[in-house]
Each structure stands twice: as C-alpha cells, then as structure tokens.
Amino acid sequence: MKKHYKHLETKLVHSGEPEPRINGAVSMPIFQSSTFEYSGQSSYNDLKYIRLNNTPNHIALHQKLAALENAEAALVTASGMAAISTALLTLLSPGDHFLAQNCLYGGTHEFITKDFAALGISFDFINGDEPGAWKSKLRSDTKAIYVETMTNPLLQVADLKAVVDFAKAHKLISMIDNTFASPFNFRPPEWGFDLSLHSCTKYLNGHSDIVAGTVIGRADLVEKIKHKLNHLGASLDPHACFLLHRGMKTLAVRIKHQNDSTLKIAKYLEEHQSVEKINYPGLESHPNHERACELFDGFSGMLSFELKGGVEVAERFMQQTTLPVVAPSLGGIETLITRPATTSHSGMSPEDRHALGISDSLIRVSVGIEATEDIIEDFEQALKV
C-alpha cells in the first residue's frame, strides 16, 4: 500500500522511498548506470537514461520533493540556475512578455537582462510591494509573473498573495524562487503558485557539497519543463542525487535550529549599540513582519545588517570574526558571512545597489547549525575591536 504522511518531518524521511525497499536497503542505493535495459518504451522521453531524468534516483527525489510542498509533481536539475532557466525557456517563447520582481538573485537577473533580448522575450520589473502598479505593466502577450519568497540580501517579503491573485485574474503562470525559505518555512503550491523553484544547493541539500535545483508544482507544467530539460541536458548526476537525497532528510531538524538561532542572533544585533540597521523578517521592526507571520512557518536562517561607520568597519568586523567562513552562498550547516556589494551584488553599479537599499557596508549572514551562543560570543568579540 502506498503510504501517505501528514507532517513534513516524516515526509522528508519516508516519502518517495522505493516500495518495496531495493534488496532491503534502508538507504536509497545509487544507480550509477547511464542507460537501462530496453523494456518496450514507445516514446523518446520514456527511455531510461540519466539525461532523461528518470532513473530510480531521480524518481525517488521527484516524489519526495513534490510531497514536501504538497504539489502534484517535481523535477530535479543540475543546479538552481538550470531549474530557473529551463523553466523560463519552456514557458516563454519569442514575442512573449514577462514580469519579474525588481531585486532578483544575481544569476536570474543576468539571465533575464542579458539573454532574453536575443530570444525575443521582453520583460518589465515590478515592485513586489506595490500590487496596484502591476496592471500598468501588463500586456496582451504577458505570460508569467516571477518573484522570490524573500529577497536577497534585505529579506523583504513581497505581497505574495497578491501575486497569485494577479496571476489568476490575468491568466499568467505564477512562479516563485523559494530557495531562501525552503519547504519547511513556506510551501508555494499551498498558496496557489503554479511553480516553486529552488536552488537545492542551499537549504534542501544543506551541506555545501553539491549544486542542484528543482522545479515543483503543476504536473502539466513540470512535464513540459522535463522534456525541455531532456533536450538541454542539465540533468542531475546519480551521485549528486544521492547526496541531495541524504541531505534533505535532515531539512526539518536543521531549519528548526536555524530559524531559532537566527532570531536570537537578530535580537542580539538589534540591541547592540554598534549596529545601525538589521534586516530579519522575524523581528517586529522589519517592515514585512506581519506578512511574514501570516505566510511563513519560520523566518529562515538568513539575516543582514549594517554597522555604524561604513565599509571599513564592516570589513574589520568580518576579519575579526573567527567562527563564520567568509564565502558567498548560503543554507549550509556552517555559518557563512559575506558583504553582498563584493559578492552577490558586485555585478550591479553602486547607484543601482543603493536604489534597492543595499549599502556597500551591508553584511549578510547565513546562520549554520553551530551553537547560537558560540556565534553570538564570536560576534561580541569582533564588535569590540
């Protein structure tokens, strides 16, 4: 009997696992075979082959990922950008128009602004907080609307319910990059989004040792995107499938700790006299706090802040800390710290960064699973210098 599980913690461990277990193996084995014996398939996309995203390792992940967000279907990809670019290339054709939030992940922003023109796709950026202004950007050929659950690095939360309503009213496909929240904190299909995208490199895998991505949502759309992925070839290797599968099982225990720890660190920083400004949606002082409370089950392990005194003070703080690793990326078990002006947002001009409210001295932290007290103690000594 196919088992159905109620809670996310249980689904992470048990959903999608093969029934019966393969030779009794408790952990999903790695099927390191590029091709599989022909068994009468009549369509190209049904031949069993790693690039066609249908080996036992892929299928188990697809079922587990779909279950996590209570969605119809899911697809794993070779990276988060593979998920995003393949989904957009599937849904948009020459002549189509596209609406996207104005402060996207760097890779997504570059893909839209640098590659869309040659593909004959036009776009407009929207402010996620001003639904009243979206209609003026709408065109008869607008096909999709694209947002992120929490913006990087200011952790702003757009009016996500308005995005879904707007998409339904104007027959657009609604897409959301849910990487920062992870399925533990937010499940877009439950709120009516057509597609939820993740960089599994971050929280889903959680161990900073692979890149991977996923598209989760409506079965008809996921099927089309899978066929496009079969053509483009950005399929996840079985060994990376195995690592993602293993990493995902602890998502709930990791995120619970990271949510709690990050709220404590945010409160500590908010009280500190050297801190000018702190951005964390779990704080009452955050402009989108109420919206975040309504939508999310937790506020994530990401926060950003500014110290009094500008870039030099920020650099000195980062050098003085001993526990966090100074590195881009996020969502792993180790605390990472970075200055977005030098990493994720270095491609933007200072003027564009400032227009979005990202100062050059802003510090972003991805809180890991270390003891909260150790992180705070380290920040305390670094702030004294």
* Active-site annotation holds for 177: yes
Smaller CB distance to ligand PLP: residue 128 or 213? Answer: 213
C-alpha span between 297 and 275 (Å, rounded): 27
Answer yes or no whether residue 211 interacts with ligand PLP by CB under 6 A: yes
C-alpha span between 21 and 378 (Å, rounded): 46
Residues in binding contact with ligand PLP, number by CB under 6 A: 15
Q: Which residue in 96, 159, 177, 194 is the catalytic one?
A: 177
Answer yes or no whether residue 107 interacts with ligand PLP by CB under 6 A: yes
Q: Which of 56, 188, 213, 340 contacts ligand PLP by CB under 6 A?
A: 213
Q: Which amino acid is at 203?
A: Y
Joined together, the tokens standing for residue 159 give: 């009016």
| Phi/psi of residue 49, nearest 5 degrees | -160, 140
Smaller CB distance to ligand PLP: residue 73 or 211? Answer: 211
Q: Which stretch binds ligand PLP (CB under 6 A): 2-10, 194-202, 231-239, 332-340?
A: 194-202
Q: Which of 31, 105, 186, 203 contacts ligand PLP by CB under 6 A?
A: 105
Nearest to 158 by CA among 177, 172, 185, 135: 177
Q: Which stretch binds ligand PLP (CB under 6 A): 44-52, 174-182, 223-231, 250-258?
A: 174-182
Answer yes or no whether residue 177 interacts with ligand PLP by CB under 6 A: yes
Chain residues 40-99 in contact with ligand PLP, contact rule CB under 6 A: 79-81
Q: Which residue in 96, 105, 254, 339 is the catalytic one?
A: 105
Q: How far is the CB of 276 from ligand PLP (least distance, A)?
A: 25
- Which residue shows structure tokens 């001009």? 349
Smaller CB distance to ligand PLP: residue 160 or 307? Answer: 160
C-alpha span between 110 and 312 (Å, rounded): 29
Smaller CB distance to ligand PLP: residue 48 or 187? Answer: 187
| Phi/psi of residue 310, nearest 5 degrees | 85, -160
Q: How far is the CB of 132 from ligand PLP (least distance, A)?
A: 26
What is the Cα 283 distance to its own chain's centre? 21
C-alpha span between 175 and 84 (Å, rounded): 10
Sequence-distant (6+) residues with CB within 8 A of 371 are: none
Answer yes or no whether residue 179 interacts with ligand PLP by CB under 6 A: yes
Nearest to 176 by CA among 87, 289, 258, 114: 87
* Active-site annotation holds for 202: yes
SS3 83: helix
C-alpha span between 105 and 90 (Å, rounded): 20
Smaller CB distance to ligand PLP: residue 213 or 217? Answer: 213
- Which residue shows structure tokens 């995203």? 53
Answer yes or no whether residue 202 interacts with ligand PLP by CB under 6 A: yes
Joined together, the tokens standing for residue 298 give: 């937790």
Smaller CB distance to ligand PLP: residue 153 or 282? Answer: 153
Joined together, the tokens standing for residue 262 give: 């990050």
Q: How far is the CB of 274 from ligand PLP (least distance, A)?
A: 28
Answer yes or no whether residue 328 interacts with ligand PLP by CB under 6 A: no
* Active-site annotation holds for 51: yes
Q: Which residue in 49, 51, 237, 277 is the catalytic one?
A: 51
* Active-site annotation holds for 268: no
C-alpha span between 199 and 65 (Å, rounded): 12
Smaller CB distance to ligand PLP: residue 180 or 317? Answer: 180
Residue 242 burial by Cβ neighbours in a 10 Å radius (0-12, 13-18, 19+) = buried
User: Interface residues with ligand PLP (CB under 6 A)?
Assistant: 79-81, 105, 107, 148, 152, 177, 179-180, 199, 201-202, 211, 213
Query: Which active-site residues does the annotation give?
Result: 51, 105, 177, 202
